[in-house]
Structure 1
């Protein structure tokens, strides 16, 4: 293999592939990127066997078809320190040579034919939906998805495709985030997508995508890109029973004022106490006997009597930072029961702190 490629093109490609590499064991071929030069195009692949990405580019000059592998991190480190301009990649025996003017580098290769294969998208069923709305909802829900939970199913988002709508759900057991989008396809299915995949999908895709699936994989394709992730095998909790069926108190609150007040209190404590008076809400820090923060905003709450709610402020801020409306709805029952915050088709159920 021999090719010339602009530094900017190669660097961008390698950066996108980094999250898909095996990081812990560099003796594995999955710590390498597979490069395939053929028919005036370059195809690059990376996978840790759980998640994988293929990128294709024609912004390259192929002088000799062929394949190569190289440690993905080291190759990116080399490309980053080179100057703008073309870089030559060439294989000689079991080595990849990287050249630019007077600079020369060599990296060992694995046998490219032993690189793991990716799931085949041919003949797989597809999900027809507004993919941009799906990606936007992944962004809203992802802060609530747990990490490193021994219950593996909680380390992913549930994609619950129902007859008329699709629920995207994430929970860390202290809060439950739910986004809804329309389903006009009539397809019904349920799958759990790992959090890592949810995050990478948000980074990679900004336009319409095609989504395919089978029992073990979710595959996303777009021009020049092929992405796959293994699905989490498990039974997601019955999230619908967590959602309050009714609320005693429903408040419409100003987003910007609430965010400003919460951020003032979080200079002292992440745990806050909100005291709802008829014409105001008082915010106060919790937990630190030697330090204190307090602020108050004027707002018509509709309460006749004082109502005190303690909460982890991060859960509220994660919700508020992902809504586009100037106001949102807060539904409350009792201070020790889950409450719900809503804006349009996105909501979060939050467990309060018992005080």
Structure 2
């Protein structure tokens, strides 16, 4: 008899974590299934959608014989949600997987899968050492700068660039209208790294991991002695997550992120500024900002009959009034991503990108020409 018993909540959580790694659109595709396999007193679950691959090892309460089969990932997940808390039994027969709990019994067709189309093993990959908290918090802060796959013409903008070179650790994201980045000194002896994490994979990483994990990369060597990073793995205890990377050249950014020496620096209280932007947002999605010596004035742009003007008492160091137009959404997403109360606007020209220093990350936003 090929059976295991396991706590329902344990396997339900594992199956839930795998739902974005299966193909839910085509049930005939191999990737719509989750592979279940007993191995060394564990039950191992594997799933892939060709782009990401998740492997989880669980410890059953009891195990007899062996189980190795593939079952539809969506169906078994729905069944687990419908069951009560407590022990369940999984039993493999010739062509069915039986799921039993008390007097309930579900039967699911099983399929044979020997090899998944995308699989990795971190033991065959290169481990890299980075600040895990900086990595997780960094991608959270600049995620809003990634381009939407529906709108982006450049696939490289549909993710976040992870780069380690010249003793600098960098995370960069852009949708061509704004660019968010984090750069920190990197202490370590490592071959240069440059790879783009897709948005979907970033969402899964943020969902599955906190600050405790190990990162591995798989380098592919070219015939000209150069190399590129094909995939990345993030491992913590019984959870293994792998993703393919975006194979494209990230837009040149080095010259863009340098602060202009002649830029005017204006310090702003974030809470007051966000409140004012939200008020402007009621009638217009763009704002004209005027910085004077005594105050900051926010006015609507393209109001179509409605208008608003909001004054914030905030002395600045400007010698002459500065006017700039910006998109409300970009400002709100930028400022809401920072944990600090104060920020700095660096403005060199009303028609060039505004440099915003939020202390835990930095962002450039293209202006709306007035």
TM superposition score normalised by structure 2:
0.90
Partner of 1:302: 317
| Deviation per residue, 1:100-142 (Å, 9 max, x gap) | 2232222222213243351232342221111221111111121
Is 1:338 matched with 2:353? yes
Partner of 2:237: 223
| Structure 2 gaps, min length 5 | 220-228
- Residue 21 of structure 1 deviates from its aligned partner by 1.1
Partner of 2:207: 203
Residues 44-83 of structure 1: pairs in structure 2 closer than 5 A? 44-58=45-59, 60-83=61-84
Q: Is the 8 A contact 1:42 1:60 kept in 2?
A: no
Residues 11-160 of structure 1: pairs in structure 2 closer than 5 A? 11-58=12-59, 60-148=61-149, 149-160=152-163
Q: Pick closer, same or farther for the CA change 1:104–1:179 going to 2, 3 Å.
A: same
Q: Pick closer, same or farther for the CA change 1:110–1:182 going to 2, 3 Å.
A: farther
Is 1:193 matched with 2:197? yes
Q: Pick closer, same or farther for the CA change 1:103–1:268 going to 2, 3 Å.
A: farther
- Residue 244 of structure 1 deviates from its aligned partner by 4.5
Equivalent of residue 161 in structure 1, options 148, 161, 164:
164
For residues 277 and 178 of structure 2, the distance between their equivalents in structure 1, rounded to whole angstroms, comes to 18
Partner of 2:178: 175
For residues 112 and 94 of structure 1, the distance between their equivalents in structure 2, rounded to whole angstroms, comes to 13
Q: Is the 8 A contact 2:48 2:116 kept in 1?
A: no
- Residue 87 of structure 1 deviates from its aligned partner by 2.0
For residues 308 and 90 of structure 1, the distance between their equivalents in structure 2, rounded to whole angstroms, comes to 70
The number of residue pairs the alignment matches comes to 355
Q: Pick closer, same or farther for the CA change 1:337–1:123 going to 2, 3 Å.
A: same
Q: Pick closer, same or farther for the CA change 1:243–1:5 going to 2, 3 Å.
A: same
Partner of 1:236: 250
Q: Is the 8 A contact 1:9 1:59 kept in 2?
A: no
Q: Pick closer, same or farther for the CA change 1:332–1:218 going to 2, 3 Å.
A: same
For residues 7 and 284 of structure 1, the distance between their equivalents in structure 2, rounded to whole angstroms, comes to 57
TM superposition score normalised by structure 1:
0.94
| Deviation per residue, 1:56-89 (Å, 9 max, x gap) | 2225432332112221112111111222222222
For residues 347 and 237 of structure 2, the distance between their equivalents in structure 1, rounded to whole angstroms, comes to 46
Q: Pick closer, same or farther for the CA change 1:117–1:242 going to 2, 3 Å.
A: closer
Residues 260-299 of structure 1: pairs in structure 2 closer than 5 A? 260-299=275-314
Q: Is the 8 A contact 2:122 2:233 kept in 1?
A: yes
For residues 75 and 267 of structure 1, the distance between their equivalents in structure 2, rounded to whole angstroms, comes to 46
Partner of 2:223: none
The secondary structure found in structure 1 opposite 2:50 is coil
The secondary structure found in structure 1 opposite 2:122 is coil
- Residue 47 of structure 1 deviates from its aligned partner by 0.8
- Residue 15 of structure 1 deviates from its aligned partner by 1.3
| Deviation per residue, 1:316-339 (Å, 9 max, x gap) | 222212212221111011221101
For residues 190 and 10 of structure 1, the distance between their equivalents in structure 2, rounded to whole angstroms, comes to 36
Q: Pick closer, same or farther for the CA change 1:35–1:285 going to 2, 3 Å.
A: farther
